[in-house]
Amino acid sequence: MSYLELVRIRKSFGDTVVLREITLAVEEGETLVLLGPSGSGKTTLLRVIAGFETAERGEVLVDGRSVGALPPAERNFGMVFQHYALFPHLSVGENVAFGLESRGKPKEEVRNTVERALERVDLAGFGERRIDAISGGQQQRVALARALAPEPRLLLLDEPLSNLDPELRERTRQELATTLANIGITAVWVTHEQEEAFDVGSRVAVLNRGRIEQVGRPADLYRKPTTPFVAGFVGRASVLRGRLADDGLVEFEAAGNVRIRFPVTFARDSRAAPGQEVEVYIRPEAWEVVARDVPGRDLRGAQDSDVLVGEVVGRRFTGRENLVQVRLDHGSVIEVATERDFATGDRLELRLRPGSGAPIAFPSGRDRG
């Protein structure tokens, strides 16, 4: 039995269905991330768990017991919001103590609890400081300490890093991931940032249009997507459309009547028959540049080839690699990751990199989200 279980959760606002039969399990001590674009339903799902929204159907179970009838205050969940809601006129310690004092706890117990909560988020000795005298990342950890102080049985985090600048966001999410792992608390974290989800999540649930597309470890979502939406949303991928040949290879017509052929792996629960059109999702790092400056390259005499020819039409530098957009001679545009620098107008020969694994394919016509 999982620690947190969501069973067939359905939620609508008027005529708009926001959550569609969501079933999900979270193990004790793990951090599960709800990842999806705006409007996918992830924040609404978190609010249903917290009790701020009521589902018209389904159950929320914690440690095997339903909490659906309990108001938020009686569920004993900690919550960290997008806006920290810290009181600027109170000190760090007073902010952490606020919820405890409102419960009538003795002063000495409150003081000890606050000190313990600040130690857990690496802010020991910060109790007397003013909120406006500490950094944004430290303010975020104060909000976390306040949520942890009452010893909640579940921690819910709604876009907790969205107010931080990029550099501070990266450092803070690594600190938070370490803190949650050390504490061992069960947590559900909402974000639309893939890198954040991969950094902090033991597992990630990808939501789209109120449905869970896939749940899994970050590496599995990237390497083994089970739906076209996950293949396109998680990471970066180019899509090539071709037909499945009798021998299981995918082929499509390139310039000069050349048939480009390469192997594919069909995603779980996906099948295609020979002759059926398929969509192939290929990561930028799966391409290898075979040659550069090939204006005279002519493949018309070839029957089959695994080499694609195209022209660089765009480029950008990410700080770790170059991403170049290549318009293939048959018209499709793909994205290629390379350590080399290419200029717009360069002609390139490309093929799938040996050892990169067969790209993921889906039958055409499936809902891509």
Torsional class of 63: left (φ above 0), alpha (ψ -120 to 50), beta (otherwise): left
Rounded Cα distance, 13 and 36, in Å: 19
Distances (CA, A) of 18 to 188, 205, 368: 19, 16, 18
Residue 302 has a pLDDT of 45
Q: CA 88 to CA 132: how far, in whole Å?
A: 7
Between the alpha carbon of residue 210 and those of residues 17, 18, 50, the distances in Å are 7, 5, 18
The pLDDT assigned to 257 comes to 61
**Residue listed under structure tokens 């309990």:** 70
DSSP-based three-state secondary structure for 346: coil
Q: Distance between CA atoms of 135 and 251, rounded to whole angstroms?
A: 55
Q: 230-234 — which CB contacts under 8 Å span 24+ positions?
A: 230/206, 231/267, 231/281, 231/360, 231/362, 232/281, 232/368, 232/369, 233/36, 233/37, 233/194, 233/206, 233/208, 233/369, 234/194, 234/206
Upper half-sphere CA count for residue 93 (Cβ side, 13 Å): 15
CB 143 within 8 A of CB 80: yes
How far apart, in whole angstroms, are the C-alpha atoms of residue 185 and residue 121? 13
Q: How far is residue 61's CA from residue 170's CA, in Å, rounded to a whole number? A: 33
| CA–CA separation, 276 and 354 (whole Å) | 26
Whole-structure pTM value: 0.88
Closest CA to 78 of 147, 159, 15: 147
Task: Count helices and strands (H / E) in the chain.
Answer: 8, 22
Cα gap 177→190, rounded to integer Å: 13
Q: For position 303, what pLDDT does the model report?
A: 46
Cβ-count burial 255-293 (b if 16+ within 10 Å, e if not): beebbbbbebebbeebebeeeeebbbbbbbbbbebeeee
Longest Cα pair distance anywhere in the chain, in angstroms? 87
State how far the Cα of 46 lies from the Cα of 65, in Å rounded to an integer. 18
Query: Closest by alpha carbon to 51, among 69, 65, 66, 28?
Result: 69
Spans of the chain, pLDDT less than 70 = 102, 253-258, 294-305, 366-369
Strands in 225-286 per DSSP E: 238-244, 250-253, 259-262, 265-266, 277-282
**Which pLDDT score, from 0 to 100, does residue 300 have?**
41
Give the pair of three-digit tokens for residue 201.
């999540």
At 258 the pLDDT is 64
Residues 6+ apart with CB under 8 A from 221: 204, 206, 214, 230, 234
